[in-house]
Amino acid sequence: MTGTDTDVGKTWVGTNIIRELVALGNHVVPKKPIESGWPQSSNDYPQTDAYRLADAANKIDDLDAVCPNRFTAALSPVRAARMENCKLSLELIKEQCISGLHANDFLYVEGAGGFYSPLVEDGLNADLASSLNLPVVLVANNKLGCMSQILLCCEAIEKRQLTLAAIVLNQVDEIGGDTAMNNEEDLKDYLSYPIFSLKHQQTMLPPQLVNLLY
């Protein structure tokens, strides 16, 4: 699970995908290998992305395995880790993602920030995606100007020979008044990937999205 940027709704989309997969009888193993801005009080854990993913998969007791690298500063993962005298490698977080997996487990991995955002000392989110070679779901904030970000991310994913399973246009903010914007329709002039548009504060995912991953 990756995005064009931070705060585009990756975790909201991810938690709903996980719940649907669990309801279908899958054993989902969620991984948010790094999260910065981690609260010091356990009472605030439910506000974190990792907690939401673990909760969706019924794995709150495995929160340390879901997110093994947690840093206090609400900064990029690399900088937040350095502030705590920690330097993470791509090989380490890859091993943390796949450790203990069984043949029928459904591995869900969520990055931090956008596809080309730095994640560890020697790699980007894109490098983790390449090393795991998992299908990619790309989430974007459905707003004016998002098409350039989406097309650039798609090109980057294609260059790495990764499978782009779907693009999710998530309308993070409410759009006031009438608008003729239709990014889904316009993107179809350039892309052949499945594209799903979510309305502001939509509560359910299109079932076709989950079916692509199941």
Nearest to 66 by CA among 51, 56, 80: 51
Cα 204 from Cα 199, distance rounded (Å):
10
Instruction: Answer left, alpha or beta for residue 201, where phi above 0 means left and psi between -120 and 50 means alpha.
Output: left
Cα 164 from Cα 154, distance rounded (Å):
8
* Residue 10: active-site member: no
Nearest to 210 by CA among 28, 33, 34, 6: 28
Structure-token match 């707003």, residue found = 143
Q: Answer yes or no: are the C-beta atoms of 132 and 97 closer than 8 Å.
A: yes
Parallel, antiparallel or unpaired: strands 105-109 and 69-71: unpaired
Q: Please enumerate in sequence order all residues whose Cβ is within 8 A of that of 22, keeping only pairs 6 or more positions apart, or say none.
A: 28, 56, 57, 58
> Beta partners for 198?
170
Of the residues 31, 32, 59, 94, only one is catalytic, namely 32
For the chain, how are helix, strand and coil distributed in percent, rounded to 5? 40, 20, 40
Q: Which residues are catalytic?
A: 32
